[in-house]
Amino acid sequence: MSDSTDQSSLDEKYFVDHLVYNCPFCNRRHVRYNLKGYSTFDWSNEKLCYVYFAQCHSCGKDSMHLSYEPIVENMYIQNRSGQGFSGFRFKQDVDIDEAIFYSVPTSFLVLDERIPAIIRELITEAESSRKLNLLTGASACARKAIYEFLLLEKAEGDYYEDKIKSLKAKFPSVDAELFDVLGHIQDMTSDKVHEQSWPKWSSKNLTLIIETLKAILHEVYVVPRERSKRSGKIRELLEDVRGRGKKTS
């Protein structure tokens, strides 16, 4: 039986509700935001598009969000100083993430700068293209990101599956199932991405591949450095305690 009190899925959303979201800039989760403004433009002769700007209460940065739906309501807002003013916010009965089809940044969690820039850029482009349903371009960028990862980490082997297996052995602390997901991509067989090898993946497959790659990259490039940083702080505290002990002895 699943734990009904487990709300960890909210950490994966961009907008938790009409008041709280996960900030894509300062990476704070469940922080308050406000809609700084919104506008509309003609997406086509028949379709209107709404542009919403959300501002983080913590870092003050603005993110942009596109939707085909009018999902705001007028309200009376009280700011942090206690003063009230008329404004608007997202409707309370709307799944905001479902109503929005494109955001900048594309994800609430901006890729860590410790991940190589060339891979970050390709993943960002893949996510942006997937959001706009440009699946061929998104698939090409996702493939290229995987190949760049293999090159940077000097993956060994003559074939794609062999290269993935070599990285699986190189990084035993990473969940092996993550590498297995990448290893089972059927059309990743060439050492280089060729135009004729760019059949588009479905949106669900793209999401799985991109999120799997992001999880691996986080474990390879971010977690070890965070661990080292925490260990360094512990050593500093330990040295401080030892130093104080010598002074009092």
The string of DSSP letters for the chain reads ---TT--GGGGG-SB-SSSEE--TTT--SSEEEEEEEEEEEESSSS-EEEEEEEEETTT--EEEEEESS--EEEEEEE-TTS-EEEEEEE-TTS-HHHHEEEEESSSSSPPPTTS-HHHHHHHHHHHHHHHTT-HHHHHHHHHHHHHHHHHHTT--SSSHHHHHHHHHHH-TTS-HHHHHHHHT-TT--SSS--GGG-PPPPHHHHHHHHHHHHHHHIIIIIHHHHHHHHHHHHHHHHHHHHHHHHHH-
- The answer as to whether 5 is a domain residue is no
Shared domain for 123 and 222, answered yes or no, is yes
Predicted confidence at residue 58, as pLDDT, reads 95
Strand partners, 49: 41
Shared domain for 91 and 175, answered yes or no, is no
Is residue 234 packed enough to be buried (19+ CB in 10 Å), middle (13-18) or exposed (0-12)?
Answer: exposed
Predicted confidence at residue 109, as pLDDT, reads 61
Predicted confidence at residue 18, as pLDDT, reads 92
Q: Which domain holds residue 81?
A: 10-104
Q: For residue 40, give both structure tokens.
A: 């509309």
Predicted confidence at residue 2, as pLDDT, reads 45
- The answer as to whether 242 is a domain residue is no
Shared domain for 155 and 225, answered yes or no, is yes
Between CA 178 and CA 214 the distance in angstroms is 10
Predicted confidence at residue 1, as pLDDT, reads 44
**Looking at 104, 127, 145, which one is the last position of a domain?**
104
Between CA 143 and CA 123 the distance in angstroms is 10
Shared domain for 145 and 194, answered yes or no, is yes
Shared domain for 197 and 124, answered yes or no, is yes
Shared domain for 97 and 170, answered yes or no, is no
| Beta-carbon contacts of residue 241 (< 8 Å; ≥ 6 apart) | none
Total domain count, the chain: 2
Predicted confidence at residue 61, as pLDDT, reads 95
pTM given for the model: 0.63
Percent of the chain beyond pLDDT 90?
49
Q: What are phi and psi of 91, to 5 degrees?
A: -65, 145
Predicted confidence at residue 230, as pLDDT, reads 79
Shared domain for 219 and 121, answered yes or no, is yes
Predicted confidence at residue 56, as pLDDT, reads 95
- The answer as to whether 202 is a domain residue is yes
| Beta-carbon contacts of residue 224 (< 8 Å; ≥ 6 apart) | none
- The answer as to whether 97 is a domain residue is yes
- The answer as to whether 240 is a domain residue is no
Shared domain for 50 and 76, answered yes or no, is yes
Shared domain for 70 and 146, answered yes or no, is no
Shared domain for 62 and 161, answered yes or no, is no
- The answer as to whether 185 is a domain residue is yes
Shared domain for 97 and 165, answered yes or no, is no
pLDDT tens, residue order, the chain (249 aa): 445 566 666 777 899 999 999 998 888 889 999 998 899 999 999 999 999 999 999 999 999 999 999 999 887 656 556 665 567 899 999 999 989 988 888 776 667 889 999 999 999 889 888 878 888 899 999 999 999 999 999 999 988 999 999 999 999 999 999 999 999 886 675 544 454 555 678 888 898 999 899 999 989 998 887 777 777 778 777 787 777 666 665
- The answer as to whether 243 is a domain residue is no
- The answer as to whether 48 is a domain residue is yes
Shared domain for 126 and 150, answered yes or no, is yes
What's the first-to-final CA gap in the chain, in angstroms?
A: 57
